[in-house]
Amino acid sequence: MPLTALEVSALELSLRVALVSVIGSLPFGLAAAWLLARCRFPGKSLVDGLIHLPLVLPPVVVGYALLVTFGRRGAVGAWLYDTFGVTLAFDWKGAALASAVMAFPLLVRAIRLSLEAVDRRLEAAARTLGAGRLRVFLTVTIPLTAPGLLTGAILAFARSVGEFGATITFVSNIPEATQTLPLALYSLIQQPDGEAAAFRLTAIAVAVALLALLFSELLARRIAQRIAGAA
């Protein structure tokens, strides 16, 4: 049986939200991972705890905090609307923000572990050959950290596709506007005749997750082979 327009819309929106959340959070995740892996400063444990807080907080709490902060009357949300005319609450862009916040700890942790595994002597050798800090970062550190970047991005993507609690609290469950796959599935299981459609969406969610993991594995192997060949 072909997918209905509502199911197609939920799938497309979920993929769009996941991609935007990963692309938007990746630079911040790399910066946070670098800060935790390479820098020493007072309050580092507190910063680490704040970054990983979404992992232990109920998603509804995160969604409510986003609503208070980025809603039309929130401190940041009001400024965004008055200055740029941008509204995040009850909009798909807000769903991307909620997904990014919930997936951010997974992204940071994967990149941080990869950064900590980089042989600092390789960076020092590049510096002694005359390379500046930025060039060393781009040509030595980033390539060696690529497996962690990839792992973090895939984990964040999968987490974003499955995000439910923070999303429904922050942007609600509006068909063809903010209704992602998990929200559409939630709506279908509330309907007496929604079992068949719910099963299809479940199968689609599993397929998307498996494809993402397979793609991650293949790309990780290729990156590892290139790094081994360069060494």
pLDDT digits (tens, 9 = 90+) for 198-218: 888 888 888 888 888 787 778
Range among 50-54, 174-178, 188-192 with highest mean pLDDT value: 50-54
**Check: CATH 1.10.3720.10 for 5-230?**
yes
Rounded-to-integer distance, Cα 218 and Cα 33, Å: 24
**pTM of the predicted model over 0.85:** yes
Give burial (CB, 10 Å; 0-12/13-18/19+) of 170. buried
Mean pLDDT of the chain: 89
* Under 8 Å between Cβ of 99 and 24: no
User: Which pLDDT does position 151 carry in this prediction?
Assistant: 86
User: Which pLDDT does position 122 carry in this prediction?
Assistant: 87
User: Which pLDDT does position 77 carry in this prediction?
Assistant: 92
What is the DSSP track for 159-185?
HHHT--HHHHHHH---TTTT--HHHHH
- Residue 172: C-alpha distances to residues 10, 158, 213 (Å): 14, 21, 29
Cα 213 to chain center, whole Å? 15
Cα 175 to chain center, whole Å? 23
Q: Does pLDDT of 88 surpass 90? A: yes
Spans of all domains in the chain = 5-230
User: Which pLDDT does position 129 carry in this prediction?
Assistant: 85
pLDDT (average), residues 57-83: 93
pLDDT (average), residues 116-142: 87
- Please name which of 156, 129, 122, 137 lies closest in space to residue 230, comparing C-alpha atoms: 122
